[in-house]
């Protein structure tokens, strides 16, 4: 299992990456053999109750990254840099990315990328903070792009391809491609020597990533490119209903869940 970005390379099988925002999910990811955990700013929708990723803070990602890093030993942990925590001021960007590594224990950070992140990627990589780039649908641009497919015209696809090259040259160790045509992702994957990780980018990327809530069946509804492999929401509801029923019917707590001290019988 990779614990350095240099080991994060597709072998015979594609790389697997999944988001996690807490220790139990991270522990399950590691036990299941996931190669990398992304502490995504998708936590905004998936775990923190926001309508988008925009309100997510550096403190929130650092706290969740710490939980994931403490729960794992053999899995690459990548912290997602939240909206406006990078790309505004270089020193501030470095300080925020540095917190994810120094304070929270991440191995790397991910930046939703564009022409504004090429120099920053180089600077962070030079400083020893590995960067995963992210092109295509970048949810932090929801107010400009919505959640629509990206790279669908020749011009837009060429722009993504050029930015992919520029980020590899700047030192990015991997590239997420989100919601782009599969034939664009195939060509970018063939062109780059660093791994591409697809989400809604077809089968030819070097690896795949999804949001844990989708994979687990924990959320409501799925994006068109995601799939569920369980029904954790259903299981949670079943367990909580069982608890409510047991308390209301006084089956819980039973004798084995209580203890009695005989000398305490006459307090009143
Ligand atoms: O925040 C996130 O979960 C992501 C993935 C969807 C790539 O950026």
What's the CATH code of the domain at 86? 3.20.20.60
Q: What is the pLDDT along the chain (268 residues), one digit of tens a residue?
A: 888 999 999 889 999 999 999 999 999 999 999 999 999 999 999 999 999 999 999 999 999 999 999 999 999 999 999 999 999 999 999 999 999 999 999 999 999 999 999 999 999 999 999 999 999 999 999 999 999 999 999 999 999 999 999 999 999 999 999 999 999 999 999 999 999 999 999 999 999 999 999 999 998 889 999 999 999 999 999 999 999 999 999 999 999 999 999 999 999 9
Domain with 86 in it: 5-237
Which residues does ligand 1 sit against, CB inside 6 Å?
A: 19, 38, 40-42, 80, 134, 176, 178, 199, 209, 211
Q: In total, how many domains does the chain have?
A: 1
Taking the CA atoms of residue 1, residue 138, residue 224 and residue 146 in that order, the dihedral angle to the nearest 10 degrees is 160
Atom of ligand 1 nearest to the CA of 178: 7
The C-alpha atoms of residue 244 and residue 64 are separated, in whole angstroms, by 29
Within a domain: residue 265? no
C-beta separation of 130 from 92 below 8 A: no
CA of residue 23 relative to chain centroid, distance: 13
User: Which residue, judged by its Cα, is nearest atom 5 of ligand 1?
Assistant: 40
The C-alpha atoms of residue 92 and residue 8 are separated, in whole angstroms, by 28
Q: Residue 141: what pLDDT? A: 97
Within a domain: residue 190? yes
Q: Residue 3: what pLDDT? A: 86
C-beta separation of 88 from 40 below 8 A: no
Cα 257 to ligand 1 centre (Å): 42
pTM over 0.85? The answer is yes
Cα 55 to ligand 1 centre (Å): 15
Within a domain: residue 136? yes
Cα 41 to ligand 1 centre (Å): 6
């Amino acid at each position: 299992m990779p614990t350095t970005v240099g080991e994060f390379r597709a072998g015979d099988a594609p790389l697997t990456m999944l988001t996690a925002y807490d220790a139990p999910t991270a522990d399950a990811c590691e036990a299941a053999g996931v190669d990398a955990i992304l502490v995504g700013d998708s936590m905004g929708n998936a775990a923190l109750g926001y309508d988008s990723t925009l309100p997510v803070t550096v403190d929130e990602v650092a706290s969740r990254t710490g939980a994931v890093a403490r729960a794992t030993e053999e899995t690459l942990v990548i912290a997602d840099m939240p909206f406006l925590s990078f790309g505004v001021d270089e020193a501030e960007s470095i300080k925020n990315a540095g917190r994810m590594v120094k304070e929270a224990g991440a191995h790397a950070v991910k930046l939703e990328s564009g022409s504004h992140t090429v120099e920053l990627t180089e600077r962070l990589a030079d400083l020893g903070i590995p960067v995963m780039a992210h092109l295509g649908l970048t949810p932090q641009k929801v107010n400009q792009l919505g959640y629509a497919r990206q790279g669908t015209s020749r011009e837009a696809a060429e722009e993504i391809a050029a930015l992919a090259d520029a980020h590899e040259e700047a030192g990015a160790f991997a590239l997420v491609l989100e919601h782009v045509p599969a034939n664009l992702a195939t060509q970018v994957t063939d062109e780059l020597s660093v791994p591409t990780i697809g989400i809604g980018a077809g089968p030819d990327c070097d690896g795949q990533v999804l949001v844990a809530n989708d994979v687990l069946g924990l959320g409501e509804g799925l994006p068109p490119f995601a799939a569920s492999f369980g029904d954790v929401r259903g299981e949670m509801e079943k367990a909580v209903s069982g608890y409510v029923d047991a308390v209301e019917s006084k089956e819980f707590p039973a004798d084995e869940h209580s203890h009695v001290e005989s000398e305490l019988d006459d307090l009143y």
